[in-house]
Amino acid sequence: MRPLVLTSRTLQMVMLALWLTLGAGVTGSLSHRAEAAIDAFEFESDEQERRFRQMSNDFRCPIYLMIMDGKTDYEIEQFMLERYGDFIFYRPRLMTETLLLWFGPLAFLLLGGWIIAGIIRRARPQVQEKVVLNEEEQERLRTLLDGVKRE
Amino acid sequence: MSRLKLFIPVFVFLALAVLLWRGLYLDPRTLPSVLIDKPLPDFELRTVENASLITKADLPDEPFLLNVWGSYCLPCLQENPILMAAKEAGVLPIVGVNYKDKLNLARLWMDDNGSPFDFSVVDEDGRLGINLGVYGAPETFVVDGNGVIRYKHIGVIDYKAWEQEILPAIAAVKAEATL
Amino acid sequence: MVPELGQFALILSFCLCVLLGTLPLVGAGTGNQLWISLARPLTAGVFVFLSLCLLILGYSFVTDDFSVAFVAQHSNTLLPLQYKITAVWGGHEGSFLFWTWMLAGWMLAVSIFSKTMPDDFVARVLGIMGLIGAGYTLFMIATSNPFDRVLPLSPADGADLNSALQDFGFIIHPPSLYMGYVGFSVVFAFAIAALLSGRLDSAWARWSRPWANAAWAILTIGIALGSWWAYYELGWGGWWAWDPVENPPMINWLLGTALIHSLAVTEKRGVFKSWTVLLAIMAFAASLLGTFITRSGLLTSVHAFASDPTRGVYILGFLGFVIGGSLLLFALRAPLMKSEFGFEAVSREVFLLANNIILVVASAAILLGTLYPMVYQAVSGGELISVGPPYFNMIFVPLMGILVLFMVIGSISRWKKTSVAYLKKQLMIVAVASVALGLVLPLALTMEFHYGASIATALGLWIVLGIVQDIRIKIANKGSVLVGLRSLATSYIGMQIAHFGFAVILLGAALTSIYSIEKSVLLSPGERVELGRYVFQFDGTEHLSGPNFEAERATFQVFREGEFQRELHPEKRVYVASMSPSTEMAIDAGFTRDLFITLGEERESGAWSMSIYIKPLVRWVWLGAILMSLGGIVAVLDKRYRRLKVRTLQKAEADKSGKPAGDDYQPVSG
């Protein structure tokens, strides 16, 4: 029996497709779901689970066939994209609508760097003007220092 | 000037809060259909009823419903009465896509429950379903007289969905046709 | 009757919170000693009554009182006792009660461990936490009452706890996560109290630090436990999915990390005060945002509770009031950020600032990615996109890499000014060794070059060797190594343990992502499959009956290079009450690798589909987290936070003589 080995990319797409079935047609509330198992595919009915398993195969099959057929990842993605839309990709495509998403973090980082530069510039300890003590102050200073030394 | 800078966080937060508030009233579960306003994909399949070969050309020339179903599918059974009632009332033709099913089981199901379909095509390997962007049975498409997909409903059709979504979609398509 | 008592206790808690949130705060502002002195007793009262609520809810579960709606939804007569108890937090209403109780717990801790702080300050802190508590309890009373009854037709039996939650992980993950999450409300309250009183100095920073560190350490454990639990519940070998509900605690954690570092600078050097206050507000905002996202139905996630706009609107309103109000207060009261002064471009201050910037940018990026689908949907009129792990990993990983580079340089740097030559001298050898070993080690162990593995190894070693080097420098002139080590400050040791833990996570996360392998196969009993250096033999299944489930239990024999290692027994269960299916993975956990098997489906032929995984170093992810957390706790135990006796005496004297206490001058060290 030849094992079915999936690439991580296609597996991601399959995962997403499987997850979609939970959204599709689920009419009841999710009140049974608690803040719990991350991504544990839990179902409210046998019917849902059956559909989930059905879909696992439904999507693996054409993707598997396409992979065996020599189609590139890009071609497979295009195929799925035409039929299911952007929603199916975990990694959003780079388009005008997602420019903010993809370049936002970089912009934040640059902003951060600019802020640090600004802070550093202003934080340099000022060059102190030499403090000149007058006679009296110098006397007091000497007395103090002597006192300290003796202790 | 510096004091003003301190107000930046409040404003950013307010913007975020407004965004979140709007977000609450969106429905996070509407699944998209990219095939709206695109023509039905080509296919060449046999019917469940009498194994005659059907292509896109054999589909009705008027607006019709394309219903993806299977004998294994419980919600399909649940929406069967609605589709049957629609057929009785002659609202519009209904064509079935028997998706990833076994022919004999499909025929049994139709005998047991009644068929609202003018005919159903056998899509055993699911290729047509994939080309339609189907997530799974049941799904229903409203197709216009030119074979273009105009509306997609994912999941079971209950009375609410029929009245509030599908009927209006059908009406809209029919109204166009008379323009 | 008993649930009504719970109801009553809840309402009482609300009333006490309202009192706590008003009288002491007003008292602190006007100098009314009586009202100030009410803070601690009121806090104790809140804690007592919320504990009562929790106990009563637990009692309802244990006695199978299905007239209580929440119990009916989440329990069942067949449910094992330990899960009946943990079912208390198995759904929205109960878990929110638990969350609120955690707040009361922290409040109590503050009221006990604050004897060295001025009473008016403590009154403010507790008062603010009381206000937060009032908001939470009101939310419960208004929208999410765990004591609502199903009368007159109470169900005879309950719907059962979600099968995924009938598990050890569920016993420990939510409590620790909530405890950490809620813990940030303490340092938040400190920050607001500082703004209200105008007292924003290094004493404030010194008081806040242990609380921030403690919350951070506990949150670290909470998140790590969640990841660990997901790992063995999931079946995909994943331990972090960048799920919209996982992300807020991560944001909280990142901001919390920035906060504990910023507090260090503020305490030691008196700079970045306003920024630290802002961070404290932001960290708490992140925890409120997390609550909002999980419970409002804003984002779809298998994780989320029922979507109900009412709840969402309430929480958002609360969020707006608390955070909006705090940020407004900040804008009005924070000391004008006069040019922070006193340090050069190359100094410890600057490297910590870099740390903060990177962590905040990472938080912002994760928030952006989490909310983007919703924004896109709103703006595009219904179109949907998904933002998943590829995005988050692509943004997060490089940022962490940069952070690590600065981390080591920063630890070795001195305050105010560090010469580049000095840094070069100390770190050059560390850099060279890290790069060299980074290139060599993965190659030697796997016979293959992988640039990602080399980078990760180099970065991990950069941290570890950097720690060794820093310790070496510190104990250089102390005579023997032992004497030297003992002379190190507790907080320093805590820091190095935490940084070491971070290195362990880094290595574990990167290397397991790179080197994990898996196979999906269809096997009949008697057949074998090979993966990596192991051979797995499937010996068939047998039927098994559990307390509230029926199962098929498979047996696998595992061989490594011909030798028998052990047996593994994955299961497929069906829980009787809910008829819901569940898969129990079989895991062979190891320090160097995990093996695991998860069953798929049985075919008519008797063959089973299944997936087998080998995951090297995956345990390091959680071990590293435990170390980080340990480091945080150790740092809290530093003597300077515990000089209770001295300070209490000082304070008592000061009270007598009428002079202000608490701002005793502490010589700057390190």
Dihedral sign of CA atoms C98, C99, C102, C103 in order: negative
Contact assignment for A122 to C391 by CB distance below 8 Å: no
Q: What b/e string do you get for C125-164 counting C-beta neighbours within 10 Å, with b at 16 or more?
A: bbbbbbbbbbbbbbbbeebbbbbebeeeeeeeebbbbbbb
What would the pLDDT profile of A31-55 be if each residue is shown by its tens digit? 222 222 223 344 555 555 566 666 6
Question: Is residue C448 predicted with pLDDT exceeding 50?
Answer: yes
Inter-residue contact A3 to C529 (CB < 8 Å): yes
Token readout for C290 is 């997390």
- Using a CB–CB cutoff of 8 Å, tell me whether C313 touches chain B: yes
What would the pLDDT profile of C561-602 be if each residue is shown by its tens digit? 889 999 999 998 888 877 777 788 899 999 999 998 988 878
Question: Is residue C669 predicted with pLDDT exceeding 60?
Answer: no
A-contacting residues in B 89-108 (Cβ below 8 Å): 100
Q: Which CATH code, of 3.40.30.10, 3.30.160.100, 2.40.128.110, 3.20.20.10, is assigned to B30-178?
A: 3.40.30.10
User: Binning pLDDT at 50, 70 and 90, where does residue A119 land?
Assistant: confident
CB pairs under 8 A between A and B: 60
Inter-residue contact C20 to C133 (CB < 8 Å): yes
Which residue of B lies nearest to A85 if distances are taken between CA atoms?
B34
Strand pairing category for B44-46 and C608-616: unpaired
Which of the residues B2, B4, B5, B10 would you substitute to probe the C interface, choosing the one with the greatest number of C C-beta atoms within 10 Å?
B10
B166: Cβ contacts below 8 Å, ≥ 6 apart = B65, B140, B142, B151, B153, B157
Dihedral sign of CA atoms C648, C650, C655, C656 in order: positive
Strand pairing category for B94-99 and B119-123: parallel
Inter-residue contact C586 to C596 (CB < 8 Å): yes
Q: Terminus-to-terminus CA distance in chain C, angstroms?
A: 61
Contact assignment for C298 to B20 by CB distance below 8 Å: yes
CB-closest option in A20, A27, A61 to B31: A20
A71/chain B closest Cα distance in angstroms: 17
pLDDT the model gives residue C302: 38
Helix axes C202-234, C619-636, angle to 10 degrees: 160
C636/chain B closest Cα distance in angstroms: 30
Percent of chain C with pLDDT over 90: 56
C75: Cβ contacts below 8 Å, ≥ 6 apart = C61, C64, C66, C84, C87, C158, C159, C160, C161
Measured CA to CA in angstroms, residue C204 lies from C75, C265, C320 at distances of 46, 12, 26
A partners (3+ CB pairs within 8 A) are: B, C
Token readout for B120 is 């159903």
C458/chain A closest Cα distance in angstroms: 24
User: Binning pLDDT at 50, 70 and 90, where does residue A149 land?
Assistant: low
Backbone angles phi, psi at C611, to 5 degrees: -125, 140
User: Which residues from A are below 8 Å from B156, CB to CB?
Assistant: 25, 27
Contact assignment for B32 to A87 by CB distance below 8 Å: yes
pLDDT the model gives residue C300: 54
Which of the residues C344, C370, C385, C576 would you substitute to probe the A interface, choosing the one with the greatest number of A C-beta atoms within 10 Å?
C385
Contact assignment for C375 to B2 by CB distance below 8 Å: no
Residue tagged 């601690």 (tokens): C40
B18/chain A closest Cα distance in angstroms: 19
Which one is predicted more confidently, C340 or B111? B111
Contact assignment for B9 to C296 by CB distance below 8 Å: no
Which residue of C lies nearest to B27 if distances are taken between CA atoms?
C298
C255: Cβ contacts below 8 Å, ≥ 6 apart = C279, C282, C283, C286, C359, C360, C363
Which one is predicted more confidently, C277 or A33? C277
User: Binning pLDDT at 50, 70 and 90, where does residue A130 land?
Assistant: low
> Within 10 A of C405 (CB to CB), how many other CB atoms are there?
17
- Using a CB–CB cutoff of 8 Å, tell me whether A55 touches chain C: no
Measured CA to CA in angstroms, residue C408 lies from B43, C413, C441, C456, C466 at distances of 63, 9, 21, 15, 6
Inter-residue contact C453 to C443 (CB < 8 Å): no
Tell me which DSSP letter residue C339 carries. Answer: P
Task: Write out the DSSP string of C421-441.
Answer: HHHHHHHHHHHHHHHHHHHHH
A72-76, C373-377, C544-548: range with highest mean pLDDT: C544-548
Question: Is residue C159 predicted with pLDDT exceeding 50?
Answer: yes
A136/chain C closest Cα distance in angstroms: 29
Q: Terminus-to-terminus CA distance in chain B, angstroms?
A: 62
Which one is predicted more confidently, B33 or C270? C270
- Using a CB–CB cutoff of 8 Å, tell me whether B132 touches chain A: yes
pLDDT the model gives residue A36: 26
Mean pLDDT of chain C: 88
Domain positions in chain C are 1-165, 517-617
- Using a CB–CB cutoff of 8 Å, tell me whether C378 touches chain A: no
- Using a CB–CB cutoff of 8 Å, tell me whether B129 touches chain A: yes
A135/chain C closest Cα distance in angstroms: 30
User: Binning pLDDT at 50, 70 and 90, where does residue A19 land?
Assistant: very low
ipTM greater than cut 0.95:
no
DSSP alpha helix (H) spans, chain B: 2-5, 8-24, 74-88, 103-113, 127-131, 159-161, 167-177
Which of the residues B27, B128, B130 would you substitute to probe the A interface, choosing the one with the greatest number of A C-beta atoms within 10 Å?
B130
Tell me which DSSP letter residue C335 carries. Answer: P
Which one is predicted more confidently, A14 or C281? C281
Which of C30-44, C90-104, C221-235, C500-514 shows the lowest per-residue confidence on average (mean pLDDT)?
Answer: C221-235
Which of A111-125, C131-145, C317-331, C610-624 shows the lowest per-residue confidence on average (mean pLDDT)?
Answer: A111-125
- Using a CB–CB cutoff of 8 Å, tell me whether C473 touches chain A: no
Domain positions in chain B are 30-178
Contact assignment for B133 to A24 by CB distance below 8 Å: no
The span from the CA of C77 to the CA of C33, in Å, is: 53
Which of B92-96, B158-162, C623-627 shows the lowest per-residue confidence on average (mean pLDDT)?
Answer: B158-162
User: Which residues from C are below 8 Å from B10, CB to CB?
Assistant: 324, 327-328, 330-331
CB-closest option in B3, B9, B24 to C309: B24
Which of C105-114, C190-199, C327-336 shows the lowest per-residue confidence on average (mean pLDDT)?
Answer: C327-336
C3/chain A closest Cα distance in angstroms: 21
B partners (3+ CB pairs within 8 A) are: A, C
Strand, coil or helix: what is B72?
Answer: coil
Inter-residue contact C319 to C152 (CB < 8 Å): no
Contact assignment for C374 to B28 by CB distance below 8 Å: yes
